[in-house]
């Protein structure tokens, strides 16, 4: 198995690996026919895997439902519905009219924020009023919200309400191309989306799986997914225990994580201890990437992070 052309997911989910995917090429096994993306998020890795069968798992039902909704759409029909919604809510459409058409509304570095704020807030309120967030209508609204949201991201409060402010961009050429490519890829490949917590995965259910990629929330980072103890030491240990079980079953895995924040002298002690105990089984492959330029907010941007890919096989095996 290998990665060919790296394609962007239409969903810009926190922690996506698009920028460093090319580095993974040399570390992923070349001959895995059935693969699992265990914390798929926006499915950036899943849609780029070349495999006979791909299973993308995540415990966020709204994200999984959105991925499945987009997967089954006809692009031409979907884009017409999107353009209709854009017009309904009075949002900018730089693809249709050109960015210069909205120039008078642009202030400083705020892009199209001023033009879109009123319509965006109406769209957000209408989405949050929907009782059933699994319907096609809800998923269509959610996708458009994400496109016009801050950093094109997805975030919900404790009540399950979408709570990001308006962003700078719109349904431009780039977003349309990502959406079309995603739909095309889903039609070309056998990709199954599953909403499930990793803790509920039974090894017996992984029949035929040859490779698992795990990109969990990082224990020592301050990204959005770690707010309100979203990922804790207990879950970190449970994931490492699952990986040990996979190794015993002969299933290859690759784990993305951060070992330490160098300038802040913070280490993931649980991960360090686990690697020390298994130093003859697991291998640390360093990834070059500076998260200070990442799209999501963090409290400590000066704490350079040591991104690694941990495998239970040597490169080339």
Q: Are residues 103 and 203 in the same domain?
A: no
Tell me how far apart the alpha carbons of residues 162 and 156 are, in angstroms, rounded to a whole number: 4
* Residues 23 and 108 grouped into a single domain: no
- pLDDT digit string, tens, across residues 242-276: 999 999 999 999 999 989 887 778 899 999 999 99
Sign of CA dihedral 115, 121, 126, 128: positive
What mean pLDDT comes out for the span 103-109? 91
The answer on 201 and 300 residing in a single domain is yes
Confidence of residue 1 (pLDDT cuts 50, 70, 90): very low
Mean pLDDT taken over the chain: 89
258 and 212 together in one domain: yes
Report yes or no: 137 and 130 within 8 Å, Cβ to Cβ: yes
Query: 13 lies in a domain?
Result: no
The CATH number of the domain holding residue 134 is 1.10.1020
What local confidence, expressed as pLDDT, does residue 287 receive? 84
Q: Do residues 218 and 294 both lie within one domain?
A: yes
Q: Which domain holds residue 152?
A: 74-172
The reply to whether 130 and 207 lie within a common domain is no
Q: How many domains does the chain have?
A: 2
Domain final residue pick, 139, 172, 205: 172
Q: Is the pLDDT of residue 148 over 60?
A: yes
| Closest of 285, 309, 254, 310 to residue 36, by C-alpha | 254
Cβ(29)–Cβ(211) below 8 Å: yes
pTM of the entire predicted model: 0.89
| The two structure tokens encoding residue 208 | 């035929």
Verify that 208 and 307 share a domain, yes or no.
yes
pLDDT at 223: 54
User: Is residue 178 situated within a structural domain?
Assistant: no
Tokens describing residue 188: 């070309």
Let me know if residue 11 belongs to a domain.
no
pLDDT at 14 over 70: yes
Q: Give the Cβ contact number of residue 246 at 10 Å.
A: 22
Positive or negative torsion for Cα 223, 296, 153, 104: positive
Q: CATH number of the domain that 234 lies in? A: 3.40.50.150
SS3 for 145?
helix
Residue 69 lies in a domain: no
User: Tokens 């791909």 sit at which residue?
Assistant: 54
Residues 154 and 201 in one domain: no
> Hey, which residues does 258 pair with through a beta bridge?
307
């Amino acid at each position: 198995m290998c990665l060919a052309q790296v394609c962007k997911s239409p969903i810009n989910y926190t922690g996506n690996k698009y920028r460093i995917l090319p580095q993974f090429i040399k570390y992923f096994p070349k001959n895995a026919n059935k693969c699992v993306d265990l914390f798929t998020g926006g499915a950036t890795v899943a849609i780029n895997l070349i495999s006979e069968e791909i299973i993308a798992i995540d415990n966020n039902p709204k994200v999984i439902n959105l991925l499945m909704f987009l997967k089954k759409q006809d692009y031409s029909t979907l884009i017409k519905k999107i353009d209709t919604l854009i017009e309904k809510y009075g949002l900018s459409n730089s693809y249709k009219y050109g960015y210069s058409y909205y120039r008078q509304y642009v202030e400083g570095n705020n892009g199209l924020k001023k033009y879109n704020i009123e319509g965006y807030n109406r769209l957000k309120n209408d989405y949050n009023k929907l009782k059933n967030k699994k319907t096609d209508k809800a998923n269509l609204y959610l996708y458009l919200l994400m496109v016009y949201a801050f950093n094109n991201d997805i975030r919900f409060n404790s009540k399950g309400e979408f709570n990001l402010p308006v962003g700078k961009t719109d349904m431009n050429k780039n977003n349309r191309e990502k959406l079309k490519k995603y739909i095309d890829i889903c039609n070309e490949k056998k990709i199954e989306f599953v909403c499930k917590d990793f803790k509920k995965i039974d090894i017996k259910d992984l029949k035929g799986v040859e490779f698992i990629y795990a990109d969990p929330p990082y224990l020592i980072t301050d990204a959005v997914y770690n707010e309100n103890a979203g990922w804790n030491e207990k879950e970190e240990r449970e994931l490492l225990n699952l990986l040990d079980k996979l190794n015993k079953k002969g299933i290859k895995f690759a784990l993305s994580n951060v070992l330490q924040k160098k300038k802040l002298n913070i280490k993931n002690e649980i991960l360090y201890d686990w690697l020390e105990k298994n130093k003859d089984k697991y291998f640390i492959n360093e990834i070059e990437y500076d998260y200070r330029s990442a799209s999501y907010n963090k409290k400590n941007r000066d704490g350079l992070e040591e991104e690694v890919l941990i495998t239970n096989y040597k490169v080339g095996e």
